[in-house]
A and B are shown apart, each in its own frame.
Chain A
């Protein structure tokens, strides 16, 4: 049986279902956003790890080589001469079937048993199907036979025995589906096409070369590892499999951290919201609380009552939020994995996996937020003397008296934020914490500003619109204990949108200027994956109208410290302006780069490693580790922080690889880029499929990917604004409830419903305007911190900040619009106030 005191208190909430619903929705949306982001991140990561685990199998170590891989001979020698049994060769690459990207895994079934069991476990429901042994031999004998998971086969519309086209290395190949593979909890061969090693080598154009050699060594058997290491030729390395996976996942960490921060922002706005509604519901029950206290309820009992109520509400909202979050997570996952695919590594996630940990986090956050938000008003309410009525005006007095203190605390918190930024060096999480402190500190200053400005503008309002206008303006300051928090929530949400919009806009401007400078050739063409056909390169070079070409090769080199991307260029000297050198004289740096063992490093790489021009850098080469001089740091917005720019000549001295993956074509005067594009397309048709595009095309495409990356940011900040909108709506509704008698009196005095409604609408409009204006300084400061601190720490690049006035104007307009919209229903309700209420006694 619920005690009568609780029922007395709770039935109040039930009699105001609107308010109850809005505060539950507010917390629920906040919780939903963090759960969704968390689930999307975790699912993407989990899917990636699972697919990595599947591919890695039981291998504990991997033998890797330089850009071309590991020679087949190395494998033969290891297996035969050193008698390492648990060792398997792998050829891996990307291919596509009908536009769907798949990982091609070329294996040697004889060597697989101890590494990957799934590759040889064909699944067949059909008893008439060939036996495992028959399958096994056809796999070895027949070129072009592949296996994949049943789910992937179904998605591609393939049945066992079907033949289909595979595009590998830009060329079309015929494949036949031999069988489907079993999947279980630890093996998920989705989006994986398994074939014999010889087929894979042929398709990917790497005859004689392996991508790597998988090795399985018993735990702690250092001797075996040492022996193996000693047997490896120069340029090949033995690395831990787990470490390789980890460093790949690490790459996306900054991106995921930023997303998490965005989701916390929505919860923060949700915190304001629940604070607002709990505060309000406590204030409105001050009479009830007075009565209960007079009847002998202790402070502790009262506190418990309010907190339990908030906890129940929080739990309810959190459960709802988790449900919403899972649904929302499905959509975010698509955006997250698309971005990860665009920027970092391949991940194919088809459905969200509901991690208990994420769900628990969401529920704890929801209940926690509700309790924290309830604590302040609960403590205040229990401090009341047990008398029956604490008048509204004396409450407002208390609220107003507290303003200077609250503002003071806010200023201190903002100062702490600045301090944190200064002392935390390059720590990203500390930077994000500083952003939150900044928001919190600023939020505490907003009420005083609003109070000031509404007091200051009240006489002006009187002049412009008479006593009714004055009432509208004065009502804001006097209702501050009610509307203050909602105003803060709106201001914070709008400030966040300003901060993020200015950041994205500045970023866009910087990237666009950078692309314009970097892309100097008139036409670009290259292999979709892998290397370009050398004959095709010659044919393109000899095209009429092509004056000069630059070549590029992107190669990954790897050692125990991680992966580094080499961007190998052969550029005509006229084009040296293409890279903006930040810390060296181009006249000296370029010749050094061209001729000697000097490299340029990208700005993010320099930031990450704390090195620059004049330092040196050790890179793994095909002849073992070598030291290179850093001649300069170049500006780069490439997401891969690990960029090293190397001249073709230097590369040729250290790596056994002469492949080229793309070309820049410089055209003679008067030659149309589009003509050359068409000619290159003609040349490539039937040989090797290439991408071809004019300079303008490539810039446009790059910006499209850039914009796509920020779609998820947009989604998150619209959700944040949505939460703030709910906040204003519920605060205005609650205020309207509170002031019912006042409105009734105005109606009795002869104000029409329209006049009352217009007054409330004007009031919310002004609230929106004040929130919007208050959000400007915070928004600009947030943009500054996002650009100069967060982006720098997360990605290492520097962005030129530019504030488009239109963003600021739009944000203020949005705040006004949102507030007006939120004010419509409360205004309507206020207009409908029954004047008879004024007669009724309290």
Chain B
């Protein structure tokens, strides 16, 4: 595997949290390479550190030791501001609880990301139409998040996460708040969109369904990462 085709490279990544006297080692030396266009499922029990790992990759959090390289950028040395600008350009987030901006309608939620990336307005509008059409919400552009169902909100969140063509899409239990049928539909959509545009995706989940759709499945356990080649039954 040549160095250049890796979208994500983690080396010796450590993250500890201190709460008073108690120190908790959440990530204890993680090494990982994810190629461009690969989709990776990250499994592990609740509290195993999945979100923590995604935060480190997304530049939201900084590691105590080790290095994170995403889209050829070494994040460890970056300032808070540089990490923000990196995130703005290269990362798309999908959360369990959707996190749409309640004061903006569907179209504006997507537009916000485009504006942050200085996409010209006319170009942005085309992109918004395209994306919302792709997630099946072209007729809900003017709606506000509070009138959408959970599945619809998550579809908007997916459109928002992909709007600026990020290098990496990070999804943290994206179906955790959805019922099975809706989860399946949302997941299908996510999978399709990511593969169509050959994005790199890291998706934290404890759902087996999701894992089945991904190229690789990783298991986080006791602060270490384990590749599970055997697909779960």
Contacts and interface: CB of A to CB of B under 8 A. Distances in A.
Interface of A: 391-394, 396-397, 462, 466-468, 470-471, 474-475, 478, 741-742, 745-753, 834-836, 838-842
A397 B61 CA distance: 35
Contact of A749 (B51, B97, B113, B176): B113
A468 B55 contact: no
Given A393-B145, A750-B85, A750-B89, A475 B112 contact: no
Pairs of residues from A and B, 5 with the lowest C-beta to C-beta distance, nearest first: A750-B88, A393-B146, A474-B103, A745-B99, A835-B60
Contacts of B60: 748, 834-836, 839
B223 interface: no
B108 A839 contact: no
B84 interface: yes
Contacts of B61: 836
Contact of A742 (B80, B101, B144): B101
B172 interface: yes
Interface string B61-82: 1000000000000000000110
Of A466, A748, A751, most buried by chain B (CB within 10 Å of CB) is A748
Contacts of A839: 51, 54-55, 60, 95, 172
A752 B103 contact: no
Given A393-B146, A468-B115, A836-B55, 14 more contacts: A391-B146, A745-B99, A746-B112, A748-B93, A749-B160, A750-B84, A750-B89, A750-B91, A751-B116, A753-B84, A839-B51, A839-B54, A839-B60, A842-B97
Of A397, A475, A835, most buried by chain B (CB within 10 Å of CB) is A835
Given A750-B84, A839-B172, A841-B96, A467 B111 contact: yes
Contact of A471 (B87, B91, B103): B103
Nearest to B163: A749
B58 interface: yes
Given A749-B93, A750-B88, A839-B55, A471 B113 contact: no
Contacts of B85: 750, 752
Contacts of A391: 146
Contact of B101 (A394, A746, A841): A746
Contacts of A471: 101, 103-104, 112
B112 to A, nearest CB: 5
A467 B112 contact: yes
Contact of B104 (A392, A393, A470): A470
Contacts, number: 91
B20 interface: no
B81 A467 contact: no
Contacts of B104: 467, 470-471, 474
B232 interface: no
A468 B108 CA distance: 10
Of A391, A753, A835, A839, most buried by chain B (CB within 10 Å of CB) is A839
Nearest to B50: A839
Nearest to A741: B99
9 contacts: A462-B108, A467-B111, A742-B101, A752-B81, A752-B85, A838-B95, A839-B54, A839-B55, A841-B97
Interface in B100-141: 101-104, 108, 111-113, 115-117
Which secondary structure dominates chain A's binding surface?
helix
A335 B80 CA distance: 54
Contacts of B88: 749-751
A393 B54 CA distance: 29
A474 B112 CA distance: 14
A390 to B, nearest CB: 12
Contact of A747 (B84, B97, B108): B84
Given A467-B108, A836-B55, A745 B101 contact: yes
A672 to B, nearest CB: 71
B202 to A, nearest CB: 13
B102 A478 contact: yes
A681 to B, nearest CB: 73
Interface in B151-178: 160, 172, 176
B200 to A, nearest CB: 18
Contacts of A462: 108
Nearest to A394: B146
Contacts of A838: 93, 95, 99
A393 B145 CA distance: 9
Of B61, B80, B84, most buried by chain A (CB within 10 Å of CB) is B84
B160 to A, nearest CB: 8
A751 B81 CA distance: 9
Nearest to B51: A839
Contacts of B97: 841-842
Nearest to B87: A750
A239 B178 CA distance: 90
Interface string B45-61: 00000010011001011
Given A749-B88, A749-B93, A478 B101 contact: no
Of A467, A470, A751, A841, most buried by chain B (CB within 10 Å of CB) is A467
Given A748-B60, A752-B84, A752-B85, A478 B112 contact: no
B55 A749 contact: no
Interface in B15-70: 51, 54-55, 58, 60-61
A27 to B, nearest CB: 31
Of B91, B93, B101, B172, most buried by chain A (CB within 10 Å of CB) is B101
Of B54, B85, B116, most buried by chain A (CB within 10 Å of CB) is B116
Contacts of B87: 748-750, 835
A836 to B, nearest CB: 5
A752 B113 CA distance: 13
Given A750-B87, A750-B88, A392 B102 contact: yes
A475 B84 contact: no
B93 A468 contact: no
Contacts of A753: 80-81, 84
Contacts of B112: 467-468, 471, 746, 749
B85 to A, nearest CB: 7
A838 B103 CA distance: 16
A554 B132 CA distance: 87
B107 to A, nearest CB: 10
B52 to A, nearest CB: 9
A474 B101 CA distance: 11
A136 B146 CA distance: 92
Contact of B102 (A466, A742, A751, A836): A742
Contact of A751 (B51, B84, B103): B84
B17 to A, nearest CB: 11
B113 A748 contact: no
Nearest to B55: A836
Contacts of A749: 87-88, 93, 112-113, 116, 160
A842 B98 CA distance: 12
Contacts of A470: 104, 108
B102 A750 contact: no
